[in-house]
Structure formats: structure tokens, C-alpha cells
Amino acid sequence: MVNNGHFDFGKVIFGIISVVILSAGLYITSFYVKTPKIISKDYAVESQGPILAMSPNMVSTTPGQTFQIGLILDTKSSTASAVQLEVAFDPGIVKANSVVIGSFLPVILRQATIDNSKGLIDLTLGCRPTEPKIGIGQLASISFTALSSGDININYTDKSQLAVIGLSTNGLSSSTGVRVVTVVPTTKISISPIPILTNTALPTPSPTLTPIATDGSTVEVYAAGQMGGGKYPNMQLLIDKEIVLEAFGVAGNPASRQFIKYTYHSPLKIIPKQIRVRFTNDYHNFRSGSDRNLMVDKIVIDKVSYQSEAQNVYSTGSWSKSLGCRPGRKQSEWLNCNGYFQY
């Protein structure tokens, strides 16, 4: 903004006007756009146009627990300048706590509002004046707290719109939400020993039933992604070979070891050998050298850490000179091919 020691008012005015135009364009567009189709398929990978998604696409938790949902935009080949978001949830099952804006469309055109009586969150975001976006990125992160047991979906409503450069209608082709299953922790029934009576005619007493509460387990995955082909890696957390959490576009910074924490709350106790962390969208272009990989630092189960490079961790996706990506105990934090860590 400073040119030869003088403040450049022209650039400031241009920036302000650009943001105003983006905001006005999105507002006007909302009256003339088609509504995006809300579908239930995971991330709608078959769609050709821009997609709104949530990450992870499934959360299992217990009442009182807090969890995070990422709002994700994949523009495909389109260039996005602004987005209007409305997210609907069941206020009887979960409560929204806060919204943190991401880095993909970082200009706040309308502040986020949370209405926990109606179960609605809305906000409008835009790009910087000279930086419209192509690709995949996180728009925002929403913190929720589970209130009671239930099985619900958190979805984008048909008021969600995307402003795309060169298009006068809503640029969204589809959107997907997240399934949230909230379960009250189970109880175990223990039977007290029956006293052994000797030399007595008294009847044998009935056993006493004593409920013992269990709190389940909290599983955390610390991961970062290396971009390849313009996209970050996708990751799944599996327990007993069943997907319980899925994250799209895992970013972070492997070089500086800045990992993103993904949390899953299980109503049952979990041990390491039940867990797999899987990389699902490998990409490698030999000509350009572009290579998409997933780095998993560790998992944490109930505050106990298990490192991915430990000698006992089995990998089906880590590369080595001797074995390539063939399975083995590779002692690596990297999944370089589609595959998983078995802890």
C-alpha cells in the first residue's frame, strides 16, 4: 500500500470496492439462482461442479462431549469469489458453540450467527480482491456439544450459495453433510458373589445387581497432508474395520510438523489393535513430480499416545526402497500409497 513513501489510496479504494461488489453480487445472485441438490453420498465424488462438504462425514459421540465439524469447499475447475452458508442442525441433540473462519475464503462479508433455538448457523465469506480460489479448502470450523442421545444429520440448507466468476447463477452442484450419532454410555451389570451358608437352614440370598458405568474411549488422530494434483489427502479412521470418521483435504504442514487433530468419541472402550488409519486418494505425477501423501504422527487413546513409526505398527501404504509400498512394519509416519496403519 506504500509507494515511494506515500500511502496508495487508490489500492485501498480498489480493495474496498472489490469486496463490496463481491458482497452485492452474492446478495443479488441469491434471488435468481437455482438451489443446489442436497445428496447423501459421501462427498459426491462423481459431481463435476463445485461441492460443499463437511469433515468428518460421521461423528460418534456421547452427551456432554464437544466435537468439531469442518466446512469444506471443492471448486473443481471453477473459480470461486464468495459463498453464503446456512447450516441446519437439531438443537435438541446438539448445541453450536462457535464458528472459526478458515483460510480458503477469509474475508468476512457477514459475521457468523448461531441460533440454537432454531438450529441454524449462517455466514457469508469472500476472497481477497485479487485472490479468487480454485481447488479445495476449509471455509470454517464449527464447534458443537452433544446434548442428548440421538441420530441426526447436520446439513447445508438450500440457502447456501456460491458465487463463481463467469457464472450468473448459483455455482454449487451439490452438498453433503455429517451424520452425528450420540449414544449414552452403556452400563455393565456385575453380580455379587452368593454367600456360602453352612450348617444353617436359612434360604440362600438372591444376588445383588450393581450397575457399573463405563465412559467409552476418546480416540485422537494427529495428521498432516502433502498436496498433490492440487488436492490434499483424504483420511479415514476405522475401528474393527468399520469407518467411524472420514476427513477430506487433510492439510497442516508436515515440514514444520503442524498436525491437525481429529477426534472420535466411542461409547465403548477401544484398544490400539482395533484401530486403522487409512489414506484413500493417492496421487503421483511422475512428469511433474507432484505427489500426494498422508503423514500420521500418532494416535492417542484415552490420553495414551501410540506413534505411527513404532516397531509394532503394520503398514500397507508406506514406501521403502526395498519393499516399495508392499505391506510390512515400515517404522514410518508416511502413507505414500493408498493403504493404512494398523496399530
Which residue in 94, 54, 93 sits closest to 73, CA to CA? 54
Q: Domain of 316?
A: 217-342
CATH at 83:
2.60.40.680
- pLDDT by residue for the chain (343 residues), tens only, comes to 444 445 454 444 445 445 444 554 544 444 333 333 333 333 333 447 899 998 887 888 888 888 888 899 999 999 999 999 999 999 999 999 999 888 899 999 999 999 999 999 999 999 999 999 998 888 998 999 999 999 999 999 999 999 999 998 999 999 999 989 888 765 444 444 545 444 444 455 545 444 334 568 899 999 999 999 888 899 999 999 988 888 888 888 898 898 988 888 888 899 999 999 999 999 999 888 899 999 999 999 999 999 999 999 999 999 988 889 999 999 999 999 999 999 9
Q: Are residues 97 and 158 in the same domain?
A: yes
**Domain termination residue (choose one: 139, 164, 182):** 182
Q: What total number of domains does the chain contain?
A: 2
Using an 8 Å Cβ cutoff, are 87 and 122 in contact?
yes
Q: Whole-angstrom Cα distance, residue 23 to residue 62?
A: 39
Q: Are residues 160 and 288 in the same domain?
A: no
C-alpha cell at 144: 458443537
Q: Are residues 176 and 43 in the same domain?
A: yes
Residue-wise burial string across 126-160, b where 16 or more C-beta atoms lie within 10 A, e elsewhere: bbebeebbebbbbbbebebebbeeeebebbbbbeb
Q: Are residues 170 and 64 in the same domain?
A: yes
Confirm whether 11 is domain-assigned.
no
Confirm whether 12 is domain-assigned.
no
Confirm whether 20 is domain-assigned.
no
Looking at residue 214, its pLDDT comes to: 52
Confirm whether 30 is domain-assigned.
no
Confirm whether 94 is domain-assigned.
yes
Using an 8 Å Cβ cutoff, are 174 and 44 in contact?
yes
Q: Are residues 104 and 239 in the same domain?
A: no
Q: Are residues 237 and 117 in the same domain?
A: no
Q: Whole-angstrom Cα distance, residue 172 to residue 323?
A: 43
Confirm whether 282 is domain-assigned.
yes
Q: Are residues 178 and 43 in the same domain?
A: yes
C-alpha cell at 324: 516399495
Q: Are residues 65 and 134 in the same domain?
A: yes
Q: Are residues 131 and 247 in the same domain?
A: no
CATH at 314:
2.60.60.40
Looking at residue 9, its pLDDT comes to: 47
Confirm whether 172 is domain-assigned.
yes
Q: Are residues 142 and 45 in the same domain?
A: yes
Sign of CA dihedral 284, 287, 288, 289: positive
Q: Whole-angstrom Cα distance, residue 343 to residue 195?
A: 44
Using an 8 Å Cβ cutoff, are 139 and 173 in contact?
no
Tell me how far the alpha carbon of residue 207 is from its chain's centroid: 47
Confirm whether 337 is domain-assigned.
yes
**Domain termination residue (choose one: 161, 182, 203):** 182
3-class state of residue 15 by DSSP: helix
Q: Are residues 272 and 337 in the same domain?
A: yes
Looking at residue 205, its pLDDT comes to: 52
- For residue 56, cis peptide bond before it (omega within 30 degrees of 0): yes
Reported as type and span, the H/E element at residue 304 is strand 304-307
**Domain termination residue (choose one: 182, 204, 239):** 182
Looking at residue 291, its pLDDT comes to: 93
Q: Are residues 329 and 227 in the same domain?
A: yes
Which residue in 338, 296, 299 sits closest to 319, CA to CA? 338
Looking at residue 150, its pLDDT comes to: 92
